[in-house]
Structure 1
């Protein structure tokens, strides 16, 4: 998650007669976006896993943190901090961020930018027959049809340490309990910054790590499990529905109003 030294309201009343350390001091927010910091951490249903906190300044002061984080940095944190701290086989929940999703070499498939000679070489390595005089688009289609199963470097590392991985479907942050914990931390930092400096932000971040209590964590996990159960229910309903066959040759008068049903659940199409 990302935090900035300007995480506050754009405008606030300011009592300039009071010292900045005063309890009744009104914050004077400096202009600009401020400096960005990246925070990496992991947690269970009772709180953050102790000793896994990584905080580092971002190189840019704009845009999303995804552009700053990379697979090498995440892999280093994973192998030096997270995995050695897990005493027993665990299940690690990951979203599909790019730094979680570096493919292993054997899972890579040629792309539209791959040269024709490389397409042929890739197919020959997999002992896939190549039609005579096949064009480059035809070769690329054959490659895509024979795409290997996706295997990720991070998943492989986690399993080598004796743990398992659960990857969340894209664009489903509700299933990730830590997203609610990040929001809780942001709320704390948002309301507690006073000097809007690097030192101030670092101090507030250390305090913010304690703001999500075990009760907050347990509630976040329960909420994510609730959404998971709801999605499972939706899937089961969808799979158990009988197919509706509409004879387009029939008269329009025979088509009742109950043919088109509206659903309150946007996930059921």
Structure 2
């Protein structure tokens, strides 16, 4: 019995194991958890917010659009970001996260049990 490509792909998909992140495997050895941030939500990730700030700084200050200037300006801005500024971004992300939790708590829950 010859199977078509579509049928073979469907069978493979059914038996494909879930992906395992090595960071999670390592963390479990030390009784720790790895929490993954949702994709496309930079407002929950302080690193993404800092990176956006650095890119904005480089774009604003880059007069001749050369790669060497972009590298210099990027390094310059990263060097200016201290612990106080980092903690500002972290506090902002925690606030946004708490706002999401508060909004979720206000969503009415309807039981499907009979």
Paired residue for 2:55, among 181, 186, 194?
186
Q: CA RMSD in A?
A: 3.4
- Pick aligned residue for 1:175 from 36, 41, 44: 44
Distance 1:236 1:220 in 2: 24
Superposed counterparts of 1:223-234, under 5 Å: 223-234=92-103
- Aligned residue number for residue 204 of structure 1: 73
- 1:158 positional shift: 5.8
Gaps of 5+ in 2: none
SS at match of 1:242: coil
- Unmatched tracts of structure 1, length 5 or more: 1-132, 245-269
| Residue 197 to residue 236, structure 1, CA distance change in 2 (3 Å) | same
Higher strand share: 1
Question: Deviations 1:179-218 (Å, cap 9, x if unpaired)?
Answer: 2111221232233334543433332222111233322211
In the TM superposition, 1:101-120 aligns within 5 A as: none
Task: Report how many residues are paired.
Answer: 110
Distance 2:71 2:48 in 1: 20
Q: Deviations over 1:89-123 (max 9, x none)?
A: xxxxxxxxxxxxxxxxxxxxxxxxxxxxxxxxxxx
Query: What is the Cα deviation at residue 161 of structure 1?
Result: 9.3
Q: Does structure 1 residue 140 correspond to structure 2 residue 14? A: no
Counterpart of 1:248?
Answer: none
Assess, with a 3 A threshold, how the Cα gap between structure 1 residues 242 and 198 changes in structure 2: closer, same or farther.
closer
Which residue number corresponds to residue 218 of structure 1? 87
Contact 2:49–2:89 (8 Å) recurs in 1: yes
1:241 corresponds to which residue? 109
C-alpha distance after superposition, 1:57-76 (max 9, x if no partner): xxxxxxxxxxxxxxxxxxxx
Q: Residue 152 in 1 paired to residue 21 in 2?
A: yes
In the TM superposition, 1:78-97 aligns within 5 A as: none
